[in-house]
Amino acid sequence: MRLLLIADTHVPKRARALPDEVWDAVSAADVVIHAGDWVDVALLDELEQRNTRLVGVHGNNDGPELRVRLPEVARVELDGVRLTVVHETGAAQGRESRCDRWFPGTDVLVFGHSHIPWDTTTPNGLRLLNPGSPTDRRRQPHCTYMTAEATEGRLRAVLLHRLPPRTRQE
């Protein structure tokens, strides 16, 4: 099962649309996972139209229309992988132990908010993934997203993809 992980898209405030490379990844994915800060419901509608399965949550920059349609926390099992999606996990310091406490029974936690790519495993075996942002790199060198595969209860082939710099008008 091919997964696309994105967060902090901030469309249309930080970019008019997702980059073409991300739309190609949407088409190739079996499941699209979005860890919040959509900003506009139009992107949610478009992702739902372009992919058969979307798992998403709302973020701190998402208004009432998105909050009505998306939960704060989403839990799903994908080919035996128990996955949880949230927007915020708090400060980087202490994140692993905090997430172990907050999300027992989870194999993989996908989160956003910081726009900083993150891939660690806690002492209890919880994999923490933040795909960064495909549209707003902030202080990071690149805009990013992740892909992965869920197979027989394991997450494999986790890749962080760096996007080329955007032009001014995008």
Domains of the chain, by residue range, sit at 2-162
The CA radius of gyration of the chain, in Å to the nearest whole number, is 15
Tell me what the pLDDT averaged over the chain comes to: 94
Cβ-Cβ contacts under 8 Å for 45 (sequence gap 6 or more):
none
Fold assignment, 2-162: Purple Acid Phosphatase; chain A, domain 2 (3.60.21)
Which pLDDT does position 50 carry in this prediction?
92
pLDDT above 90: residue 15: no
Q: How confident is the model over 38-71, as pLDDT tens digits?
A: 999 999 999 999 988 999 999 999 999 999 999 9
Residue 142's Cβ-count burial label (10 Å; 0-12, 13-18, 19+) is middle
Contact 124, 100 (CB under 8 A): yes
C-alpha–C-alpha distance, residues 50 and 27, integer Å: 7
What is the arithmetic mean of pLDDT over 14-43?
95
pLDDT above 50: residue 152: yes
pLDDT above 50: residue 155: yes
Give the CA dihedral 18, 27, 30, 44, nearest 10 degrees.
Answer: 40
Weakest mean pLDDT among 50-54, 80-84, 104-108 = 50-54
Residue 165's pLDDT band (cuts 50, 70, 90): confident
**Between the ranges 8-12, 31-35, 48-52, where is the mean pLDDT highest?**
31-35
| Spatial CA neighbour of 22 closest among 156, 152, 133 | 133
Residue 72's pLDDT band (cuts 50, 70, 90): very high
Which pLDDT does position 30 carry in this prediction?
97
Considering Cα of 53, then 157, then 76, then 72, what sign does the dihedral take?
Answer: negative
pLDDT above 80: residue 169: no
DSSP string, the chain: -EEEEE----BTTT-SS--HHHHHHHHH-SEEEE-S--BSHHHHHHHHHH-S-EEE---TT--HHHHHHS-SSEEEEETTEEEEE-S----STTHHHHHHHH-TT-SEEE--SS---EEEE-TT--EEEE---SS--TTSSS-EEEEEEEETTEEEEEEEEEPPPPPTT-
